[in-house]
Structure 1
Amino acid sequence: MFQVKLNLPNADFHNDSRRSLDKSFHVVCLCIDSMFAHREYESLYMSHIWIPSSWCSLTEDPECDVTDDITATVPYNLRVRATLGSQTSTWSILKHPFNRNSTILTPPGMEITKDGFHLVIKLEDLGPQFEFLVAYWRREPGAEERVKMVRSGGIPVHLETMEPWAAYCVKAQTFVKAIGRYSTFSQTECVEVQGEAIPLALALFAFVGFMLILVVVPLFIWKMGRLLQYSCCPVVVLPDTLKITNSPQKLISCRREEVHPCAMAVMSSEEIFRSWIS
């Protein structure tokens, strides 16, 4: 004969908001393989009416999600029993009723990334009932802390356009509007964005181009100025050999007696030879 025994501490509520989408409130019982657990709950607002759990009425899993059953902010009781073949255990009931207002929320998991100069956060998806309060700031003395409410997790959310060579820090907390409770803030995570590094070849090319501009542009301006000067306002400059240094009257004063007349005569070849020998 097989005996099933459920200890009272094994029928309990466990809240783990980090997995709230599937397992916000867990009913845990110590069960043996191939054994089924039957779970029922009652609201103490309507006492003595036990209702089978919508998803956990008869399962082999010792851990099951009853979030859809715990829908009101009132005390709830829970009972669990095990079934193996024709054998059925007695009910194991909670020692103390459970109220979702007593839920202790845990900080959300988050992933901080940078997309270029954009600060991006991705929060853990905890279900439609969970919202997140995100605080972020630039890591410097006297920096202003900014706050943003994120309605759902699981998708990247842009927070800030970052400045080069600056560090930004982020922290977040969980909020459930239905019960009006906040979790503590998560650990602060910081990221630093680096300035765009210029390749060495590009920097060298830019330096050479800048130096060429410094040399070529002034020379070009000077040449264009000279060209415009000669084209629009020409200045005639005489060479020194053509400049008149003395009085023009002295240059043209010529007395007739100082001019030696030249006689024209035809010389024979013998006279030319004698004059060349002498």
Structure 2
Amino acid sequence: MSPLCCCFIVSVCVTALASGLPPPRNVRLTSHNMDLYLRWRPPENLSNQIFYSTKLQASFDSVLSRPACVNTSALFCELSEPGLKLTLLEFGQYNASVRALSGNEMSDWVYSQPLTMDKDTVIGPPMVALVPQGACLEVSVKDPEFRVSSMTNVFGLPQYNINYWPRRRAHQASHMQVRQNRVVLSGLEPWTEYCVQVQIHVDPARNQNSAEASKPVCESTADMPSPPWITAVVTFVALALTVAVVVITVIYHKQIFHFLCPKHSLPQPLQNLPECPHAPLFVPEEQCHPLTMIPWQDEGEHLTANS
């Protein structure tokens, strides 16, 4: 048999083998926060177990298609999974394909639509934290984490659309646009709970998808802060009182000492007692006798009283 006939027979057999199984349906390539997923639906009217194999092709490598998930029963393949060791670039364009396998049968390859990472990815919601500062709220925004690169590397400095409103009064919502990831909301009602929602906005020429908004985060404000002049007056008065107390203490320290610690003199008879020699504080053999004090009278008064 000639080589040409052999090649023809092999080709017919492969075609027959491949065409014996319906292909997967609804094959699509998606990206969220710069990841890359290939998704599909199973073939119709098949009850036996089916496995799938996928491959990825990049626009900068139009010749070679790299295998990705092989013999998987899942209906998706995460092409950005590090374990697959596929090189993904934040500005690259990709398409992918999948085919079904069941026993000795396999379907044709079904290709997805092309996808450009930075233009077609969906930007997820940022993380939002609130810190009360008196009757104000400090809003802190953290960009979502990208699977490939980062927000600032891909889109530059984004714009944050901030909506805030009193809880249960959404019709009174206010709106502001900033480029800082930390901002203070002022002019709020004291002791009121406010809810804040943030959405990232990038240049439509770079990405036309609407970014996902964060879930509302709520926090209560506190009391109105005191005006600066009140704080200054209170500080000045406290300082003046402190200086006055120090000056009075220095000038009248003796009088104050005598007033707080007055001197008490002993009666005259006790002042004339001879001094006792120094003795230990505790002497077991020493006997103590009671001392009785009687009013003092001179000799003339004593004789008159006796007569």
Structure-2-length-normalised TM-score: 0.43
Larger radius of gyration: 1
